[in-house]
A and B are shown apart, each in its own frame.
Chain A
């Protein structure tokens, strides 16, 4: 089945220790997104890639970076995690972003910062 895969599902990191979350997709979609969802809140878009074109949200902290080495993979790097970065991180994909297409989400990575 075509799908969006996130690894790991649970990640524990120490305060200030860089961490990388990964997302892969077998849907061959052009657009990939990263959302942050804190406890009891709605998901919030951090940034997205349209092919290799990176689009950052204005209020995404500089601490958050992303890489997309190819169509299938996208990474979220948190350079110096703080306690406030503990959250569920959701990756999503959609077809050609110039239109409007359904987004499909992965299972998420739950990040704990100690």
Chain B
């Protein structure tokens, strides 16, 4: 099956710092989504980004499908950004199935 690798596995930031999270995947994908899982367990959609670049406030994401990676940028981090960030992909020809990476645990300290 497709491999989805996220890095770093853990990240501690001081409030106000910037960070970049990476997602590498081993095969062509139709769909790539970034999620933030809050302390109560809910998965919050951040980006649907099979290719290209998108921005939403302090967050932005870029997917380079031909090179099989995606980046999530968090600028001016806040304590509420803490949680787990997941990248999930849908492999070409394997419709309707999201495969998740192991996640990046982010802790933002005040």
Answer yes or no: are A and B bound together in one complex: yes
Q: Which residues of A contact B (CB under 8 A)?
A: 31, 33, 37, 41-45, 48, 50, 55, 57, 88, 90, 92, 94, 97-98, 100-108, 110
On whether the beta carbons of B95 and A98 are closer than 8 Å, the reply is: yes
Interface residues of B in 78-94 (CB under 8 A from A): 86, 88, 90
* A33 to B103 CA separation, bound complex (whole angstroms): 20
Chain A CB within 8 A of B3 CB = no
| Chain B positions within 8 Å of A88 at CB level | 41
| Chain A positions within 8 Å of B45 at CB level | 102, 104-105
Chain A CB within 8 A of B102 CB = yes
Known: A88-B41, A110-B41. A102 touches B30 (CB 8 A): no
Q: Which of B95, B99, B100, B103 contacts A100 (CB 8 A)?
A: B95
Q: How far is the CB of A57 from chain B (nearest CB, A)?
A: 8
| Chain A positions within 8 Å of B40 at CB level | 107
* A33 to B97 CA separation, bound complex (whole angstroms): 9
Q: Which of A33, A100, A106 contacts B50 (CB 8 A)?
A: A100
On whether the beta carbons of B31 and A107 are closer than 8 Å, the reply is: no
Binary per-residue interface labels of chain B (18-45) against chain A in the complex, 1 for a CB within 8 Å, 0 otherwise? 0000000000001101010000111101
